[in-house]
Amino acid sequence: MPNLSLKSNHKSIKEYYRKLQQLDNLGIGNEGAVQQAFEDVLKTCCNQLNLTYAAQQTFKINQQTIRPEGVIFRQDSLKHGYWEAKDNKDDLEKEVSQKFKAGYPKNNLLFWQPKRIILDQNNQLVFDEKIDNSEHLISAIQLFFEYSQPEIKAWEQASITFSQKVQDLGKGLLELMVLHDSKMKL
């Protein structure tokens, strides 16, 4: 997967902070209102990486039904990651715990609120920072999008190895055919 190109001066990052400030100035902070700002950033990143963003999809995982705010899909229809939104009034650690108890996957799940992101990958906490500055926000987003499940990494490596072996075998077969053809002409 190509690397994400996202900088502090990127239009979507500037717009993200502008929208949140605008809502804050109006005294609007509920989850439904503020999540759109982050969703727009995710969509921009998906477009850049040729991924698909889908909102409010319901899934059965380990006999549990989940409905995250958003799911990122690879082109091969595998799920790249999940996103859960909360507002600043929520206790984010408590919300994370409740979602995991409810059966949410732990392989690439980003929990967002306007002031903080928690990111779990492979059942490990890899990011837990305030995102009041763009560097932290971008770091979390890059970790989320550049993640690759161990099984997928292994499959991609096996595909590369197999492809190289097939090329090597093809070259060997061609050499044998040329050698055989030259012997036939003698």
The pair of structure tokens assigned to 153 is: 């990494």
Average pLDDT estimate for 163-180: 74
Residues 127 and 160 occupy one common structural domain: no
Residues 99 and 168 occupy one common structural domain: no
4 part of a folded domain? no
List the domain range (segments joined by +) for residue 62.
11-148
Check residue 64 and give its pLDDT: 82
The pLDDT of residue 8 is above 80: yes
- What DSSP character marks residue 66? E
The pair of structure tokens assigned to 102 is: 């409810």
Neighbour tally for 181: CB within 10 Å: 9
Residues 105 and 177 occupy one common structural domain: no
Give this prediction's pTM: 0.77
Domain total for the chain?
2
Check residue 79 and give its pLDDT: 87
Residues 99 and 165 occupy one common structural domain: no
Closest C-alpha to 149, from 128, 123, 129: 123
Q: What is the pLDDT of residues 92-120, one digit of tens each?
A: 999 999 998 888 888 899 999 999 999 99
Average pLDDT estimate for 168-181: 74
DSSP string over 113-129: ETTEEEEEETTEEEEEE
Dist CA 1 CA 146 (whole Å): 8
Dist CA 68 CA 59 (whole Å): 9
27 part of a folded domain? yes
The pair of structure tokens assigned to 29 is: 């902070």
